[in-house]
């Protein structure tokens, strides 16, 4: 698998947004988002088709600051928001300044509550990330709202009288997240049990103040989404809609996210552009077309062509390369993606390693097998410490056979050291054969 390094460079959001468009080969945006796989579950499908084919409507998605960055699951929501905006509708991006202080119930155990200061800081981070994916210009300009603005002034008595009275405990107990916790050894606190009321109140508030009639969110949030539709129906006597998107999983069912410990973050400081590119590039053949549909703006004809390429010439991995390019450029910009491809060539001897900046090298090498060593460490010891060979004798044999490279220069002696051979004064790239790489950090 080719390895790619890229530096943290961003294309201005307006440049990226200007190149995005929905596919005109579809009859309407509903048909397109269904084909692309954004709709895992929804309220009335025909009502949604009619709603989205009509005059512009206001819709929203909420993002809780339970971490300092959004991740791939959130990216699905951001791209659905963007596609509906491209169809002429008006997006509201909600940051959960209040719901982030609580946290929606996890399936297994109670969340650790973050401090108010931490949540407020993370709200600002998430707001900045959301703003990159939406347009704030034109008749359907996006708006960012914070649910702390209407929750903080409300007293507990007002909350119970004005909102809580519309909820039925029996219905709340049936929600998947709640029932899972009730059946666990940890149970569920009243705090997390009440989360669905807070989210329902958000939808009601946005309906009353912005005429918002649609909420989107992950399918694992379906109970919370319908708490809002039910509340508006009870309190206002009208029907509103909700769309639940699929969770991002591999074809074998493996999930990605904070809870699973394998989240791919949108913040380059948490998941480098290099690592994100590698994530997409390593997509399995069975998953790549579904991800092209959701995570890129490629038209249907191109995705169908790539599907044929996967079926007939999978070894070329054309679909994976298209996905890696499009999705990385979407999040980190075109220059970073171009730098990734150029750096990949340098890593494998087709470019100048010394031209790569220190941040690029560091990000790339940390994704490889690596070791931190003194500068006088021998190549034989480096091969063993990075796992490229199982023993010193195997290391010496690999060098004598001419198959070991340090910074793309063939190593003549197993006793050679790093001294005088460092990149940016503290890194080195060790390679065995054509494709087996390791990173070296000098302590």
For 38-59, what is each residue's pLDDT tens digit? Answer: 999 999 999 999 999 999 999 9
**Among 84, 87, 65, which residue's Cα sits nearest to residue 245?**
84
**Among 263, 278, 270, which residue's Cα sits nearest to residue 325?**
278
Please report the pLDDT score of residue 105 as a whole number: 81
Please report the pLDDT score of residue 7 as a whole number: 34
Read off the DSSP letter of residue 418: S
Question: What stretch of H or E contains 371?
Answer: strand 370-373
Please report the pLDDT score of residue 359 as a whole number: 82
The alpha-helical segments, DSSP class H, found in 155-238 are 156-158, 169-174, 176-182, 190-193, 195-210, 222-236
Q: How far is CA 258 from CA 61, 93, 192, 264, 424, in A?
A: 19, 21, 18, 9, 34
Distance CA 426, CA 269 (A): 20
pLDDT beyond 50 at 35: yes
Give the mean pLDDT of 228-252. Answer: 93
Please report the pLDDT score of residue 256 as a whole number: 65
pLDDT beyond 90 at 74: yes
Please report the pLDDT score of residue 308 as a whole number: 98
pLDDT beyond 80 at 373: yes
pLDDT beyond 80 at 187: yes
Q: Which domains does the chain have, with CATH numbers?
A: 1-9+253-356 (1.10.240.10), 38-245 (3.40.50.620), 368-443 (3.10.290.10)
What torsion do the CA atoms of 269, 272, 273, 279 make, to the nearest 10 degrees?
-140
pLDDT beyond 70 at 301: yes
Please report the pLDDT score of residue 244 as a whole number: 98
User: Residue 261: pLDDT band by 50, 70, 90 thresholds?
Assistant: low
pLDDT beyond 70 at 8: no
pLDDT beyond 50 at 3: no
- The residue ranking higher by pLDDT, 353 or 210, is 210
282's tokens: 């390593």
The H helix count followed by the E strand count for the chain is: 20, 11
Q: Contacts by 246-252 with C-beta closer than 8 Å and gap 24+?
A: 246/37, 246/38, 246/40, 246/76, 246/219, 247/40, 247/73, 247/218, 247/219, 247/220, 248/72, 248/73, 248/76, 250/284, 250/286, 250/287, 251/284, 251/286, 251/287
Instruction: Give the percent of the chain with pLDDT over 90.
Output: 72
Angle at CA 59, nearest 5°, toward 56 and 62? Answer: 160
Give the mean pLDDT of 303-316. Answer: 98
Q: How far from chain centre, in Å, is Cα 31?
A: 24
Please report the pLDDT score of residue 242 as a whole number: 98
- Output the average pLDDT for the chain: 91
Distance CA 5, CA 366 (A): 11
135's tokens: 């347009």
pLDDT beyond 90 at 129: yes
What torsion do the CA atoms of 96, 102, 108, 112 make, to the nearest 10 degrees?
110
Give the mean pLDDT of 63-81. Answer: 96
**Among 291, 426, 343, which residue's Cα sits nearest to residue 8?**
343
pTM for the full predicted model: 0.89
Please report the pLDDT score of residue 110 as a whole number: 79
90's tokens: 């008006």
Mean pLDDT lowest for which of 20-34, 116-130, 205-219, 260-274?
A: 260-274
């Amino acid at each position: 698998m080719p390895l790619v390094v890229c530096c943290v460079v961003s294309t201005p959001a307006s440049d990226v947004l200007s190149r995005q468009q929905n596919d005109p080969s579809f009859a309407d945006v509903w048909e397109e988002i269904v084909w692309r796989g954004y709709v895992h579950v929804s309220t009335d499908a025909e009502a949604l088709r009619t709603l989205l084919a009509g005059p512009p409507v206001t819709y929203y998605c909420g993002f809780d600051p339970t971490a300092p960055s959004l991740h791939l699951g959130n990216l699905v929501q951001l791209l659905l928001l963007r596609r509906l905006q491209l169809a002429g509708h008006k997006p509201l991006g909600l940051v959960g300044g209040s719901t982030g202080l609580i946290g929606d119930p996890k399936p297994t155990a109670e969340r650790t509550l973050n401090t108010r200061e931490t949540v407020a800081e993370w709200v600002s981070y998430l707001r900045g990330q959301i703003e990159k994916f939406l347009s704030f210009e034109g008749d359907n300009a996006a708006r960012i709202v914070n649910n702390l603005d209407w929750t903080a002034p409300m007293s507990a008595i007002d909350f119970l009288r004005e909102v809580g009275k519309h909820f039925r405990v029996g219905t709340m107990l049936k929600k998947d997240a709640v029932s899972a916790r009730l059946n666990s050894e940890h149970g569920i606190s009243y705090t997390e049990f009440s989360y669905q009321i807070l989210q329902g109140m958000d939808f009601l508030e946005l309906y009353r103040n912005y005429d918002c009639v649609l909420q989107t969110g992950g399918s694992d949030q379906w109970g919370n989404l319908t708490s809002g539709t039910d509340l508006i129906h009870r309190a206002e006597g009208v029907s509103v809609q909700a769309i639940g998107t699929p969770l991002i999983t591999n074809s074998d069912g493996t999930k990605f996210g904070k809870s699973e410990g394998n989240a791919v973050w949108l913040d380059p400081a948490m998941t480098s552009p290099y690592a994100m590119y590698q994530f997409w590039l390593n997509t399995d053949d069975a998953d790549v077309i579904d991800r092209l549909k959701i995570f890129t703006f490629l038209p249907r004809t191109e995705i169908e062509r790539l599907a044929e390429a996967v079926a007939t010439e999978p070894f070329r991995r054309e679909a994976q390369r298209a996905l890696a390019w499009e999705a990385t450029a979407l999040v980190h910009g075109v220059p970073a993606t171009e730098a990734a491809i150029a750096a990949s060539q340098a890593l494998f001897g087709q470019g100048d390693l010394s031209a790569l900046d220190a941040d690029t090298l560091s990000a790339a090498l940390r994704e490889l097998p690596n070791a931190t060593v003194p500068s006088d460490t021998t190549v034989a010891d480096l091969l063993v410490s990075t796992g490229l060979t199982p023993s010193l004798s195997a290391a010496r044999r690999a060098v004598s056979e001419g198959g070991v490279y340090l910074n793309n220069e063939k190593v003549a002696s197993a006793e050679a050291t790093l001294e005088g051979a460092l990149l940016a004064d503290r890194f080195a790239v060790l390679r065995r054969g054509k494709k087996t790489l390791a990173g070296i950090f000098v302590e």
